[in-house]
Amino acid sequence: MNTELKLFLIVLVTALISACSVGGKTRSSQFYVLDATIEQPLGDSMEDLRLGVGPIAIPGYVNRPQLITKTDTAEVQIEEFARWAEPLEEMFTRTLSENIRALTNSQQIHSHPWPKLVEYDHRIAAKVIKFENDSQGNALLVVHWGLVHQTDSREVANITYSEYRATAKASDFSSRVDALNDTLAQFARDIMASLI
């Protein structure tokens, strides 16, 4: 290989490396968490309530690291750079528990899975059908849920189909997550209404 060809190849490789380093900067992901939004307890004291929350099944299309957007058609957009900071199923269950704890002032609200020695009077079992934002950021939670009594784990009372909607203040991802938080707070209030 002659010297001119070697020089040309060195210049070409250097140019390619420079182009990759300039244009190859990747966009960084943003990470989000669900948060309990209820701060005031219900009027009646329920400090003695012993309640297990879970297991709660989350549908596979949303139980992923990325947030999703449901379009007006059947399409689901996976938001590659907007991600949950932890597994959604665990975060959903814990946030619901925290909302119920705030409503009751009870320190005996336990998220599934709980230690073997934990005792509870009732347990909330739920299957989430939808937990999503639309393209404007508005949130929808659709869930089948019921109370299971501790005395007989096969006895399920009041199986309920519920839908909760919340309007997002904006279409950014923080506002979308806030709207999802609102649907969880609505769900917690319905659970407590069924126990009163």
pTM for this entry: 0.83
Instruction: Reduce the DSSP state of residue 3 to 3 states and report it.
Output: helix
Can you give the pLDDT at residue 117? 86
Can you tell me the distance from the alpha carbon of 185 to that of 96, in angstroms, rounded to the nearest whole number? 7
- Segment 110-138, tens digit of pLDDT: 999 888 888 888 899 999 999 999 999 99
Spell out, as residue ranges, where the chain has pLDDT lower than 70: 1-26, 43-45, 151-157
Radius of gyration, alpha carbons of the chain: 24
Q: C-alpha 180: how far from its chain's center?
A: 8
- Identify the CA nearest to 69 among candidates 60, 84, 79, 58: 79
- Identify the CA nearest to 126 among candidates 138, 112, 115: 112
Can you tell me the distance from the alpha carbon of 72 to that of 54, in angstroms, rounded to the nearest whole number? 31
